[in-house]
Amino acid sequence: MRLTDNEKRMLDGEKGDPIRMAMEILLALGKIYGAEKLIPIQSAHVAGLSLKSHGLAGTEWAEDLANRGARICIPTTMNVVGVDRSRDFNFPKAWVKDQLRIETAYERMGCFGTSSCVPYYCGFVPRYQEHIAWSESSAVVFTNSVLGARDNREGGPSALASGLTGRTPLYGLHLDENRKGDVLFKVSAPLTNLADYGALGSYVGRMIGTRVPVFEGIQGPAIEDLVYLGAALASSGGVAMFHAVGVTPEAPTVEAAFGKKKYEVIEISGKEIEEGKRKLTSAKEKKVDYVAIGCPHCSLNQLKEMAMMLKGRRVNKETTLWVHTNVAIKSLARQLGYVQTIEEAGGVVTQDLCTILGNPEALGFKALATNSPKMAFYAPGSNGFSVWYGSADQCVEAAVQGTWKA
Amino acid sequence: MAIIVKGRSISKGRAEGEALVCRQPIGFNFGIDVATGVITEYNHELFGKSIKDKVLLFPHGKGSTGGSYVVYQLAKNKTGPKAIINITTETIIAVGAIMGGIPVVDSLEKNPYELIFDGDLVKVDADQGLIAIEK
């Protein structure tokens, strides 16, 4: 790789040991992917900050970096963590203590404690064609696909390395030629809610691996629909970018989405959407003791919709309802009265954490209902929950009744 | 008699162990128990199996980008694979393996799924980018 004199000094340790290590990570990736040089980036987003991901080994790694003077040099946001800093959920004390150590270490390095997987809902919005180094697979797919920014599927440490150095290797989705579609999915199924978009992403993600899907037939989606489609593609598969013809910025037409590439065509009807939903459902017993909404974190509009659905109703006394968002959206939602409406109905609006990165299993829940394809995918492995997957309406019904109705 | 195949070095080091062959991508974040190395992803082909001390063949990583820290934890806990062979390594596995010192080789000259089977003794020399399968 070609390095500037300044980059060579960073690699030689003249700017400190953390910068040297960061450069080593970036150069290793550059070599693997055949990058010819490093390029400047304008922001980074660091994921994997839950104690579940870091463990004690990762926690000590981060503290050691902060102790040795590691400081970020571009705006760097923090992903979802494992505790809600505004309240005590009776999580195990050791969990809370070690989780806060991780957050403190990254904040000492200068990262913003946004603690959210949707930094673009709180002011961090990469522009079209901007080069960034974000981790959090759902955010990677969103920034590439919907915003047209340029990002590879970073891991937490490589995103931190980019935050510390302001650089990333030039390869992958930073280059025009790698952003074209591979397979065309002609969607004839009606997509009426987030769960439908999630089921589509789940079905296609399992089939396509790390290739770039192009969707034709998606009409007038809300931003949240695209967030959930991307989150499903990225969790069920390894997708870092999709196109939706007439919807996303690099796909005004099918031709523009594929360039000169040859592609296969796959039809998506209602049958495939149902199959996507079935694959996300692992529960057999109808009883539901935990309902969770908001993976990725809810937008203000999602919180408003939850408030409208819950107004005047009451969550079953044997069921817990959590609605996940970040502190920025929660503050707005409180000002507008949505938080109060949800909590008067017996639900809880959480900040900072989420189901899969938090520790709700420590509170004894067993059976989850959700409209989130990402949560449904990870909860069996991360929390040990059995899962019902369906629409927000179905989830609210499950919260009120304590049982799932298909 | 050993079959030697050349590939590309991703994360340096040398190790040997019993092969565990997996045809599906593996998501490390939330997909594995770091205390034991047992795969916990529902519906996964390795569900309930341990990758500890194996030479693990799988196509590539998938899923949550927090997985690098999990690969690092597995290495520190000594519950991870001795070495990894991928079809094409991606960032999550590469960074976690570099942090944790797990040797990784990818892009072999021959299809590893036609050469490596569960239980084969496989030596990985990721300094040279070579693997040797003892038959």
Q: What is the DSSP string of A312-339?
A: T----TT-EEEEE--HHHHHHHHHTTHH
Nearest Cβ partner of A154 from B27, B65, B73?
B65
Contact A158 B76 (CB under 8 A): no
Residues in chain A whose Cβ is within 8 Å of chain B: 24-25, 28-29, 32, 47-50, 52-55, 57-58, 61, 79, 135-137, 140, 152-159, 209-210, 234-235, 237-238, 279, 282, 356, 378, 380-382
B64 is catalytic: yes
Is a pLDDT exceeding 80 seen at residue B66? no
Distance CA A102, CA A107 (A): 9
Give the residue on B whose Cα is nearest the Cα of A136. Answer: B65
Most A CBs within 10 Å, among B24, B40, B49, B64, to test the A interface: B64
Q: Let me know how long chain A is.
A: 406
**Other Cβ atoms within 10 Å of A218 Cβ, number:** 21
Do residues A367 and A402 lie in contact, with contact meaning Cβ atoms separated by under 8 Å?
A: no
Contact B69 A157 (CB under 8 A): yes
Q: What does the longest C-alpha to C-alpha distance in chain A come to? A: 65
pLDDT at A164: 98
The 3-state DSSP class for residue B106 equals strand
Higher pLDDT, B68 or B119: B119
Residues in chain B whose Cβ is within 8 Å of chain A: 8, 10-11, 25, 27, 29-32, 34, 40-43, 59-70, 72-73, 76-77, 89-92, 94-96, 98-99
HEC letters along A349-381 = EECCCCCCCCCHHHHCCCEEEECCHHHHHHHHH
Do residues A359 and A92 lie in contact, with contact meaning Cβ atoms separated by under 8 Å?
A: yes
pLDDT at A229: 98
At A115, phi and psi to the nearest 5?
50, 55
Contact A210 B62 (CB under 8 A): yes
Residue A13 one-letter amino acid: G
In angstroms, the Cα distances linking A279 to A231, A272, A390, B119 are: 15, 11, 12, 31
CA distance, residue B135 to nearest chain A CA (Å): 30
At A183, phi and psi to the nearest 5?
-135, 135
Rounded average pLDDT over B83-101: 91
pLDDT at A128: 98
Give the DSSP letter string of A173-199: GGSGGGSS-SEEEEE-S---SHHHHHH
The one catalytic residue among B9, B50, B64, B68: B64
Is a pLDDT exceeding 90 seen at residue B43? no
Nearest Cβ partner of B30 from A28, A47, A382?
A382
Model pTM score: 0.88
Nearest Cβ partner of A58 from B30, B65, B73?
B73
Nearest Cβ partner of A238 from B25, B66, B99?
B25
pLDDT at A260: 93
Distance CA A55, CA A41 (A): 29
**In which residue are the tokens 């990818």 written?**
B106
pLDDT at A347: 98
pLDDT at A52: 85
Q: C-alpha dihedral over A61, A67, A73, A76, to 10 degrees?
A: 50
Distance CA A222, CA A203 (A): 20
pLDDT at A49: 93
Distance CA A363, CA A52 (A): 16
- pLDDT per residue, tens digit, chain A (406 aa), is 999 999 999 999 999 989 988 998 999 899 888 999 999 999 999 998 999 888 888 999 999 999 999 999 999 999 999 999 999 999 999 999 999 999 999 999 999 999 999 999 999 999 999 999 999 999 999 999 999 999 998 988 999 999 999 999 999 999 999 999 999 999 999 999 999 999 999 999 999 988 999 999 999 999 999 999 999 999 999 899 999 999 999 999 999 999 999 999 999 999 999 999 999 999 999 999 999 999 999 999 999 999 999 999 999 999 999 999 999 999 999 999 999 999 999 999 999 999 998 889 999 999 999 999 999 999 998 899 999 999 999 999 999 999 999 7
Contact B69 A137 (CB under 8 A): no
Is a pLDDT exceeding 80 seen at residue B64? no
pLDDT at B63: 77
Residue A403 one-letter amino acid: T
pLDDT at A13: 93
**Other Cβ atoms within 10 Å of B129 Cβ, number:** 18
pLDDT at A124: 97
